[in-house]
Structures are given as structure tokens and as C-alpha cells.
Chain A
Amino acid sequence: MTSSRFIITVIGSDRVGIVARITTVMANFNVNIVDISQTIMDGIFTMIMLAEAPEENFDHAAFQETMASEGKELGVEVKVQQEDVFRFMHRI
């Protein structure tokens, strides 16, 4: 049941460089973007990515921590959650 794919959500006020800096962290961890969608809802920047982690030597905890601290610097909230949680909750 466990998948190596993650949903990454970035929510916060819009500013220059959010996508660039978040995706740089992902590239450093060798995490591939499978799909990406981005909207501004009521002035709030919302980016959702479906990402795939490498099969070997992937440190999930370190990735999550680095993404969260990068988000903090940018003033946005970054969440990295395994995709199963969304699939399981809304689909039979």
C-alpha cells in the first residue's frame, strides 16, 4: 500500500521565487515532479505538486524538514504528505 509518491502543498502569501526555491530543494533530494498545479485563491498562493521520491537512499524525514524550513523562510507553509492519505480518504 505504501507509495513513494508525495503530495506537496505550498500555501501562503505570494512573492517572487517561491516555486524556484521549493523546486530547488526537491532537486537537491532528487525528487521528481510528476504533476503540478498552481492558483492564487483570494490572494493566497496555493501550489500543489505530485512528486516522486527516488527508490534508494531517500531520507524522508530530512526532506520534510528541509522543505518546511525553506517554507518558513519564504513565509509560506509547506507540507509533504504521502499520496495514500488523499487517495484513501476520498476514494473507495
Chain B
Amino acid sequence: MLINPNEILETIRMVKMEHLDIRTVTMGISLRDCSHPDIDIFNENIYEKITVNAKDLVRTTEEIQNLYGIPIINKRISVTPIAIVAESCKTPDFVSVARTMDEAAKEAGVDFIGGFSALVHKGATKGDLKLINSIPEALASTEKVCSSVNVATTKAGINMDAVGMMGDVIKKTARLTADRDGIGCAKLVVFANAPEDNPFMAGAFHGIGEPECVINVGVSGPGVVNAALRELENPNLTDISETIKKTAFKITRMGEMVGREVSRRLGVEFGILDLSLAPTPEIGDSVAAILEAMGLERCGTHGTTAALALLNDAVKKGGAMASSSVGGLSGAFIPVSEDAGMIEAVNVGALSLEKLEAMTCVCSVGLDMIAVPGDTPACTLSAIIADEMAIGMINKKTTAVRIIPAPGKKVGDSVEFGGLLGMAPVMPVSKFSSETFVKRGGRIPAPIQSLTN
């Protein structure tokens, strides 16, 4: 046989037992030709543009899933940041745009649509402010819309006025979705150095340097890496790194093949492959489990940052060898609510918010899907964001905050979102105030790029 039977069985085992899947095929669509001062016409334009471009996306993706026998979990759409394309609309808010995006997403049959976004790392325009103020109601009145705001870059510094606003926006979003444990906040990300081609939600948007229409693919496989490591007999860390690299290579190859075939059939350019290790609530499909397979008693103990650094780097090396189109976030995700091992680590007291922050220095993306008490002040949320933005800005990497101040909940409670979003134990925050610091506003200037000690 031309293909080794062991390789065939290995692939089948990865899919069947170890939850290997294509997490998402995301179609990026430019809305730059949709602008119009009349918001009703603008909404018609974007509805038409999205539904026409994405009309065959779900069907084609499902055909390919069946052809290759590899599950494709989500189909998604990302669009040009709405703050840019709706800027000229003469209305006080953009909530109707979010609703139109929601309807277009439902018509196309996709799971999520991202791009209710603004890029305000240096400063905000009128359109940016309208968008940011529309976020709570937009997320409360839609199902599939995801929102992101980029408040910092390495080249521009941190816009602390925007950071200050986002604390309030997150609080208000939680309040408006209080009946569902503040789920609106699970669809809102605050970024530093946001990538323009990320296929993962909630942070996906179609960047302004992107083509008219593009297919980006996100693969996932913490379960496969976890299983591969647990098969090794008494390995040293060099062996572990080597195994992660080889496994990441295989996962990436599969994603690249699927992405290219989807884009060929749709006649749409292939953009990037994002080889992030994105956990799911399934047992074993966990980044925490990989770290524990390396020899840590629990994720979050001393040594976790080093283990995560090794994992993240080895994933990138394996992926970069496998595909010339690697982009997006590409690394290990550490969303607490979506990872059974992380949840367990928080519950037994091994993993704290402070340790998670340290871990984000060496991995993608940031403080992700973290629930904190409902009475956490907005300025404390802003301060948490500011810390994370500083890590991204100084380390020239993407960082993000997706935090849920769970309404009415306190430390020891948990919130339940269901599906891929999972459940999150409510984690304590510092009881000391950051209010004066946050309220000062202004900008934290861009960092010096030399004298790096």
C-alpha cells in the first residue's frame, strides 16, 4: 500500500479519540464598498454583501468535512471593523448594524460573525466612540455577533482613555445580559496588537490590509498533543519539545489542506492558517492537561510559565514548517472556562488570576474567558486590561482580555455558558483600588525598541 497503514490508523485515532478537528473556517469579507450616510441603506448594503459572498460557505465546508472525514466545528464570518465602514452614518448609535450582521449570519447559516470592532490604539474618532458605546446593547440584542476593540499596539502605546471606557462597557454588557450570567462579555475582546487575519472568535475581524474576500482556517488539537506526550516513556524536555513539534506539523498540514480546498471550491483567496491549540470542555482536550503531562502536578503551580513557553514555541516551530501561510494568533490558548483542566486547577486553588497573567507573557492570547465577581468595579476591570495591554505592548505580541464580571456572583460560584464556551469558576480580584490610576486617562507612550533588558 502506498500509504503506511500505521499512519492511516494514527490519523483516524487523532480524530476519533483525541478530538482533532478544524475549529473554524472563517470567511473574511470587506465591507469597505458598503458605506452610506443613510444607515438603512448601509445596512441593506452589508446584508447583501455578506449573504452573497457567504452563500455557499456552509454547504461547501460540510462537503469537505465529509470528503476528508475531518470534523469542521464552526463556520464563521469576519468583516471590516464596523467603526470604519459605518463612520459616515448619521445616527447616534450602531446597534442596528449589529442586528443586521446577526440576520446576515443567520441567513448564511454560520455560527458567529465578528467585526463589530474599533481600532483605537492611538485615539478614537466619532465613529469609534459611537461603536464602543453601542457594544453593550448590540451584544445583548444579538446572538451571533462578536465585538473587539484594539486599545494598544507596540508602535502606538496604550490608549488609557479607551482602556478606561472598556471597563464600563464590559460592566454594562454584563448587566444587560445578566439573565444569562453576563454572556455578552464572552463575545467581547479587548486587544493589544490585534491581528488582522485571526479566524478565532470573539476577536476576528477583517483587517484593512486584507483582500476583498478571504478564507482563514483555525485548527485545533490540544487532545492530540496531550495524547502524544503521555505516550512518551520518561522523556526529557528536549524529547517533549520534539514530539510537540511533530504533532503540530501534522495538525497544521491537515488544516492547510482543508483551507486550500475550501478556498478553491469557493473561488476565494486562501488567507492564513491559524494553528492555535484551542481547548474544548471535553476531557483531555485541554492545554492544562498538556502542561500536567510535562510533569506539573497541577496547571498553575511553579514551572507552569516555563512549560507553557516550551509548548507555545514548539507549536509554532512545527506549524511554520508545515505551512507557508501561518498567521492569526498561532499559539496555545488558555481560556479558563473552555478548558476542563484549567477549571479544575482553579477549583483546587492551583491557578490564580496573577499566574494566568504571567502565563500570557509566553503564549497567545491573554486573560481569556475569566469570570470575576459581579461587584468588581469598572476601574478594576480597566486596570486588569491595562496590565494585559502592557504585556502585549512591551513583548510585541498580541494580548487580549475577555473577562466576565458575572452579575450577582461571588468567589466560589461559577457561571455556565454551555457549548464551546463552557463554565467558569468565579475568581477573586485584588480588593485594593486602581481607580485614581485608571481615571488619569491619556496615553502610555510607545515603548523603546532597544536597550531590551
Chain A positions near chain B (C-beta within 8 angstroms): 1-2, 7, 9, 11, 35, 37, 39, 46, 48, 50, 60-61, 64, 79-90
Contact = CB atoms under 8 A, between A and B. Distances in A.
Interface stretch (B67-75, B118-126, B306-314): B67-75
Contacts of A90: 3-4, 7, 10-11, 250, 253
Contacts of A46: 9
B260 interface: yes
A64 to B, nearest CB: 6
Contacts of B67: 60, 81-82
A85 B62 CA distance: 16
5 closest A-B pairs (Cβ-Cβ)? A81-B69, A88-B257, A85-B68, A90-B7, A35-B1
B325 to A, nearest CB: 14
B261 A81 contact: no
Secondary structure of the B contact surface, majority rule = helix
Contacts of A9: 8-9, 12
Contacts of B5: 37, 39, 48
Nearest to A2: B261
B2 interface: yes
Contacts of B256: 88
Interface of B: 1-5, 7-12, 66-70, 250, 253-254, 256-257, 260-261, 264
Contacts, number: 69
A89 B1 contact: no
B1 A84 contact: no
A38 to B, nearest CB: 10
14 contacts: A9-B8, A35-B2, A37-B1, A48-B1, A48-B9, A79-B12, A83-B3, A84-B68, A85-B68, A85-B257, A86-B3, A86-B11, A89-B7, A89-B257
B3 A7 contact: yes
Nearest to B4: A90
B12 A64 contact: no
Contact of A86 (B8, B66, B264): B8
Nearest to A35: B1
A85 B15 CA distance: 12
A81 B11 CA distance: 11
Report which residue of A9, A82, A89 has the largest number of chain B beta carbons within 10 angstroms of its beta carbon: A89
Given A81-B69, A82-B68, A89 B253 contact: yes
B11 A85 contact: yes
A1 B67 CA distance: 13
A40 B207 CA distance: 53
A61 B66 contact: yes
B2 A50 contact: yes
Nearest to A86: B3
Given A9-B8, A9-B12, 18 more contacts: A1-B257, A9-B9, A11-B12, A46-B9, A48-B5, A50-B2, A50-B3, A79-B69, A81-B67, A81-B68, A81-B69, A85-B11, A87-B3, A88-B257, A89-B11, A89-B253, A90-B7, A90-B250
Contacts of A7: 3, 8
Nearest to B3: A86
